[in-house]
Amino acid sequence: MHKEVDSTASEAKSSNNTNLASQDQAEGKDSALSECVSVKMEVKPGVLYLVAVPIGNLDDFTPRAWHVLEQAEYIACEEVQSARRLLQLHNVKAKLISYRESGRDLSGDQIVHLLAEGAKVAVISGAGTPAVSDPGRDLVAKCHQAGFKVSPIPGASALTAAVSAAGLPLRRFAFEGFLPRRSNECIQFLQSLAHEERTMIFFEAPHRVKETLQLMLKVFGDRNAFIGRELTKYYEECLQSTLAKLCEKYAQEDPRGEFVIVVEGLQIDETEEELRLNKQAKLDLEFLRGLGLSKRDQASILVHFREIPKNKAKQLVMEAEEEK
């Protein structure tokens, strides 16, 4: 954990870290950590700060998050009482503004007005990162439209926690949030995802987990899946299995706690996938030739943007040339 430093020490440390970053780059080191600095930042007026809070374990509260909340004059939150208990841990004295789904337009206008007057405003969610499957998304959009800067203060996130522990293909994934509550609407929504090739992530309440897993099995068929239950809490459970086995598990026990469900995307037959990629590559090459790019540049673009192996890309370029 980084120690808090005064402004003079911060400037010196920032300078030292900048020198170290330059040295790392000179030595060819490609690490994001080489760019990191520990600086106690001043909370600026007229900026909306999105502050992530723990999803279950209070030790996941970052020093930077507390620093921003301690300086904020106003803090928007979903549940005022819950937020007040949380903020009392560091004796945060900011005024709390209720920002809920039902009254988001009125509260949003109030917050924009405060920013226009130069107030220091932060936003927290009930748990995790604001604006992610959360009414804060509308406030963020409203502030952007009004021309105010939005600054994220990263921290705990059920989404990234589950994704990191799932062990499923994650080069590309789709976050779907909470499913529709009505069964018919839920089925229709899942059917729209039946051919999704990316790994999918869902949030779900405990009383709906059984039905949701059964609907997923019915619509998707039996696929690899992951359950993250009560993440970061004492009774945390991370379980990779299949939809069928998860249905069996929760048919025998009552789900408790907050759930994140991760489901593997549709697996395409390798031959079918190769044909699809070849067809797309031919269209790409036709466009790239029209731009007057060299064969080498055409192949390079296929490698970097279509993730086609280098030798395969060269072969496709040569075949396209022969077919002209």
What's the confidence (pLDDT) of residue 31? 55
What is the Cα Rg of the chain in Å?
25
61 near 155, Cβ under 8 Å? yes
Nearest residue to 78 via CA among 50, 54, 101, 46: 101
pTM of the model: 0.72
Q: Kindly report the average pLDDT of the chain as a whole number.
A: 86
> Cβ of 96: how many Cβ atoms within 10 Å?
17
**Tokens, residue 237:** 């459970």
Q: What percent of the chain has pLDDT over 90?
A: 59
What's the confidence (pLDDT) of residue 25? 45
More confident of the two residues 307 and 31: 307
From residue 261, alpha-carbon distances to 117, 204, 218, 235, 243 in Å are: 42, 7, 16, 17, 10
Beta strands of 129-258 (E only): which ranges? Answer: 149-153, 173-178, 199-204, 224-229, 237-242
pLDDT (tens digit, 9 = 90+) per residue, 212-262? 999 999 999 999 999 999 999 999 999 999 999 999 999 999 999 999 999
Give the integer Cα–Cα distance in Å for 129 and 65: 11
Q: Is the pLDDT of residue 113 over 50?
A: yes
Q: Is the pLDDT of residue 6 over 60?
A: no
Please provide residue 205's backbone torsions phi and psi, each rounded to the nearest 5 degrees: -85, 150
Q: Is the pLDDT of residue 271 over 50?
A: yes
User: pLDDT-derived band of residue 303, with 50, 70 and 90 as boundaries?
Assistant: confident
53 near 61, Cβ under 8 Å? yes
User: pLDDT-derived band of residue 292, with 50, 70 and 90 as boundaries?
Assistant: confident
Compute the C-alpha angle 83/85/90, nearest 5°. 95
What's the confidence (pLDDT) of residue 150? 97
- What's the mean pLDDT in 128-144? 90
What's the confidence (pLDDT) of residue 8? 42
Q: Is the pLDDT of residue 14 over 80?
A: no
Give the integer Cα–Cα distance in Å for 168 and 200: 10
Q: Is the pLDDT of residue 74 over 90?
A: yes
What fold characterizes domain 159-263?
Answer: 3.30.950
Q: Is the pLDDT of residue 20 over 70?
A: no
Q: Which DSSP helix (H) or strand (E) runs through 37?
A: none
User: pLDDT-derived band of residue 13, with 50, 70 and 90 as boundaries?
Assistant: very low
Domain ranges of the chain: 7-16+39-156, 159-263, 270-323
Task: Name the class of domain 7-16+39-156.
Answer: alpha beta
Q: Is the pLDDT of residue 2 over 50?
A: no
What's the confidence (pLDDT) of residue 51? 96
Q: Is the pLDDT of residue 186 over 50?
A: yes
Strand pairing report for 259-263 and 95-98: unpaired
Q: Is the pLDDT of residue 22 over 50?
A: no
What's the confidence (pLDDT) of residue 286? 85
What's the confidence (pLDDT) of residue 49? 97
What's the confidence (pLDDT) of residue 323? 74
Give the integer Cα–Cα distance in Å for 86 and 124: 11
- What's the mean pLDDT in 170-178? 92
More confident of the two residues 174 and 311: 174
